[in-house]
Amino acid sequence: MRRFWLGIGLVLGLVGCQAPPVEPTPTLPTALMGEEPVEQVFASPSYGVQTFLWWQPDIDQWANGRTPQPLTAVQEMGFGWVKQEFAWRDIEGIEKGARDWWRPDQIVLAAEMAGLNLVARLDRQPEWTQAAGAPLHANQPPQNLADFGDFCFAIADRYRGRIKAYQVWNEPNLDREWGGQPPDPAAYTELLKVCYENIKRGDPAAIVISAGLAPTGNDDATAMSDTKFLQGMYEAGAAAYFDVLGVHAPGFKAPPETSPGEAAITKAYGNGRWFAFRHVEDMRAIMVASGDGRKQAAVLEMGWTLDEVNADYAWFAVDEATQADYLVRAYQYAADNWQPWIGLMTTIYIADPNWTAAQEQWWWSIVLPDGTPRPAFFALQAMKK
């Protein structure tokens, strides 16, 4: 989710603007269904939350039967899926082939012992994959895509049948997630293809989810709108290289039932279709128009922020009660209107233990770094599933 709202400068300063509640809309037109039956690789919907287990301080105790606090929270919520980053550089950071599996082994084991399914996000390249002396970005494709393919095979082969699903990269429609280069859907499709083929070679039953795309209205060297990027992926042949389409669906200021059309004409909501949780429907329409309606979509990030610190986010902040209410209503809207094509829906976040209130992610979290639940946690726990 981090810093993915480009193009919001036009709507800054709207803090405090309120709009009347939007009534839920009737069931969506069958045009979003497609002509073929939907292949339900996920229950519709499935309930997930993103965790940060990698640097948990008690990780050395998990093999002895201690369930990590974040996974206990997921169990208490009644959610069945956990999304976790498995950064390439944290596993194969020194040199090609020198892989350290200790931490991922503990995470996979802990999830199994807790009875939870894992979605592993694969990205964040090691330094050795870049040209000597070139600037190192937090997330950038390797010089040689085969190196990433080898990593995708290695993790899928090691955890065959244990990691159920993989997300291939994150927000490649932003330059900051693509090595500072202009977004390129055809180039991302090549990376997706290499990883997909190698995951399937390592674990044919694993679910491959394409990268969640950042909702944005920009179209320049720094960002490409998610709808344009997705269309470019389809034109490059990406349909053959993912099982489920990944999308991101933050609600910004608007209630979850707000249509993209209403968000586009409402100043308080940001004047853009991408500012609506239901922008997922725009992405689904592209899937169907591209002949890919038999697949499900997975919401890889969803939430509402409480941010009081970071100016880029504060304009669409809500209070804790509203965050809780909107998250529950978002899941309910999907259950009522998006079946069977909606699959996994992932709330952000159960916080990283090292986050502070100075970081924007802290304000999205439903459980704080010290384990303290926010009201949204209890609302999701009580929600009908």
Per-residue pLDDT, 11: 32
Quick one: which H or E segment has residue 27?
none
Give a yes or no: residue 159 inside a domain: yes
Q: What letter does residue 219 receive in the DSSP assignment?
A: B
Greatest alpha-carbon span in the chain: 57
| Both structure tokens of 152 | 């995708």
Give a yes or no: residue 241 inside a domain: yes
Domain extent for 53:
35-382
Give a yes or no: residue 308 inside a domain: yes
**Antiparallel, parallel or unpaired: β 165-170 and 81-85:** unpaired
| Both structure tokens of 20 | 């009347």
CATH number of the structural domain spanning residue 198: 3.20.20.80
Give a yes or no: residue 23 inside a domain: no
Q: What letter does residue 11 receive in the DSSP assignment?
A: G
Q: Dihedral (C-alpha) 194, 53, 333, 37: value to the nearest 10 degrees?
A: 30
Give a yes or no: residue 28 inside a domain: no
Q: What letter does residue 243 receive in the DSSP assignment?
A: S
pLDDT tens digits for 203-218? Answer: 999 999 999 999 999 8
Identity (one letter) of the amino acid at 53?
A: L
Give a yes or no: residue 6 inside a domain: no
pTM of the model: 0.93
Give a yes or no: residue 199 inside a domain: yes
Q: What letter does residue 138 receive in the DSSP assignment?
A: S
* Of 36, 42, 29, 45, nearest in space to 290 by CA: 36
Overall number of domains in the chain = 1
Per-residue pLDDT, 146: 98
Per-residue pLDDT, 30: 63
Which residues does the chain have with pLDDT short of 70? 1-30
pLDDT tens digits for 218-241? Answer: 899 999 999 999 999 999 999 999
DSSP string covering 148-185: HHHHHHHHHHHTTTTS-EEEEEE-TTBGGGTTTSPP-H
Per-residue pLDDT, 28: 55
Give a yes or no: residue 173 inside a domain: yes
